[in-house]
């Protein structure tokens, strides 16, 4: 589905983090729907280097880009020399998806350098070259704030959420200082869908539970998972929000969720229904002392200023995703 009537012929688009989950989906959206636009991907592809928590430092994977015909640059958004070289491309739009997105990373220095300092450098770049900046913020900015989550009422509980809020604060400063500059921040809630497999353990519970069920294993959930509700949003709706942000009627930071929280138990049940399976769930104690039990996005402003309206319920999203989940199981899990 095409989400904008903008003429993107001959326009030049930069997607940072373009080999990751959301970035790669954006790249293929443009390739399919706006083939005359030039799309450039910048990503620090994975090299098996890990953080102290054992998780990969980069989720960028070449397999997410199989079939992509645009230009690919392997590089680090922290590299100032690389940023200087990008000036020659004369970009019209930047979709800044690159970040350390692992919420369990405790290395505050690298998190802030990569998420905050690099973002400011790209904002300066966008200002200098008059480029529209659309960037990824996160629902992690809200932390333990009461739901429904509203922009302006944040309480991050980890350095990742703090870094994203710092990005938003810088963006607001630029919006005020340079009112003619177009800047839109998108606070993603619990995103699931195609091309997330290489996020490994940080992939959505939709994928993780789906692969468990296909493997014949009992889906494992925390006790009282029917009472743990999150705002799950299918990747196609996240792409919709990004594309509609290109012609947003007002600069700002906007929630990207469905405003319809669903439980982890719902995910297991919907997956089994659609797979024709019936396996009893296994429950275990939640090991986390600080844990969100309810998240809901207030999307009133997103609807008004981005003309955004979520199209996929949890059932619809899982139905659309199921073919790829089965393919991942056959090719990566079973075949790997």
What three-state secondary structure class fits 223? coil
* pLDDT at residue 233 in the model: 98
Average pLDDT in the chain: 96
What three-state secondary structure class fits 118? helix
Tokens of 238: 């996240």
In sequence order, the 6+-apart residues with CB closer than 8 A to the CB of 257 are 139, 188, 189, 190, 231, 233, 295, 296, 297, 299, 310
Question: Is 197 known to be catalytic?
Answer: no
Tokens of 282: 């296994």
Interval 37-53: pLDDT, tens: 999 999 999 988 888 88
Rounded CA-CA distance 231/146 in Å is 14
Q: Which domains does the chain have, with CATH numbers?
A: 12-334 (3.40.50.720)
Helices (H) and strands (E) in the chain, counts: 10, 13
Question: Is 223 known to be catalytic?
Answer: no
Residues paired with residue 184 on neighbouring β-strands, in sequence order:
134, 252
**CB burial readout 226-248, b (16+ within 10 A) else e:** eebbbbbbbbbbbbbbbbbbbeb
Q: For residue 165, what pLDDT band results from cuts at 50, 70 and 90?
A: very high
Distances (CA, A) of 13 to 27, 30, 97, 243, 260: 9, 9, 13, 12, 32
Interval 6-15: pLDDT, tens: 999 999 999 9
Q: Which of 164, 199, 244, 296 is catalytic?
A: 199
Q: What angle do CA 294, 272, 278 make, to 5 degrees?
A: 120
Arithmetic mean of pLDDT, 191-196 = 98
Sign, CA dihedral 138-96-100-284, equals positive
Quick check: 336 pLDDT over 70?
no
Interval 229-259: pLDDT, tens: 999 999 999 999 999 999 999 999 999 999 9
Write the DSSP assignment of 228-280 as a string of letters. -EE-EEEHHHHHHHHHHHTT-SS-EEEEES-S--EEHHHHHHHHHHHHT----
Arithmetic mean of pLDDT, 44-69 = 91
Q: Which of 29, 135, 160, 254 is catalytic?
A: 160
Rounded CA-CA distance 76/43 in Å is 7
Helix (H) or strand (E) segment spanning residue 163: helix 159-177
Rounded CA-CA distance 176/110 in Å is 28
Rounded CA-CA distance 130/118 in Å is 18
In sequence order, the 6+-apart residues with CB closer than 8 A to the CB of 163 are 99, 100, 111, 112, 115, 116
Interval 108-134: pLDDT, tens: 999 999 999 999 999 999 999 999 999
Tokens of 130: 């008059």
Interval 291-334: pLDDT, tens: 888 999 999 999 999 999 999 999 999 999 999 999 999 999 98
Residue 13 φ then ψ, to 5°: -120, 130
Helix (H) or strand (E) segment spanning residue 96: strand 93-96
Quick check: 103 pLDDT over 90?
no
Omega of the bond leading into 148 within 30 degrees of 0 (cis): yes
């Amino acid at each position: 589905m095409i989400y904008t009537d903008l003429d993107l012929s001959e326009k030049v688009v930069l997607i940072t983090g373009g080999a990751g989950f959301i970035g790669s989906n954006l790249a293929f959206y443009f390739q399919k729907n706006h083939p005359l636009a030039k799309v450039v991907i910048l990503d620090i592809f994975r090299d098996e280097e890990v953080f102290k928590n054992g998780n990969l430092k980069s989720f960028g994977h070449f397999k997410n880009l199989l079939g992509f015909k645009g230009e690919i640059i392997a590089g680090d958004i922290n590299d100032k020399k690389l940023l200087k070289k990008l000036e020659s491309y004369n970009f019209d739009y930047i979709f800044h998806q690159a970040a350390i997105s692992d919420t369990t990373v405790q290395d505050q220095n690298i998190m802030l350098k990569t998420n905050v300092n690099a973002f400011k450098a790209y904002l300066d770049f966008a200002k200098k070259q008059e480029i529209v900046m659309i960037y990824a913020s996160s629902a992690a900015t809200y932390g333990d704030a009461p739901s429904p989550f509203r922009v302006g009422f944040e309480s991050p509980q980890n350095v990742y959420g703090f870094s994203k809020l710092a990005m938003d604060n810088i963006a607001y400063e630029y919006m005020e200082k340079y009112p003619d500059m177009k800047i839109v921040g998108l606070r993603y809630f619990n995103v699931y869908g195609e091309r997330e497999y290489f996020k490994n353990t940080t992939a959505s519970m939709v994928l993780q539970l789906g692969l468990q069920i296909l493997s014949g294993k009992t889906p494992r959930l925390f006790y009282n998972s029917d009472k743990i509700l999150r705002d799950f949003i299918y990747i196609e709706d996240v792409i919709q929000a990004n594309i509609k942000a290109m012609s947003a009627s007002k600069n700002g930071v906007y929630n990207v969720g469905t405003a319809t929280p669903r439980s982890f138990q719902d995910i297991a049940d919907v997956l089994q229904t659609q797979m024709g399976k019936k396996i009893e769930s296994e429950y275990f104690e939640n090991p986390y002392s600080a844990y969100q039990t309810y998240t809901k996005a207030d999307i009133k402003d997103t609807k008004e200023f981005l003309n955004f309206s979520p199209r996929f319920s949890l059932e619809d999203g899982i139905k659309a995703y199921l073919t790829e989940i089965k393919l991942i199981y056959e090719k990566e899990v079973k075949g790997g």
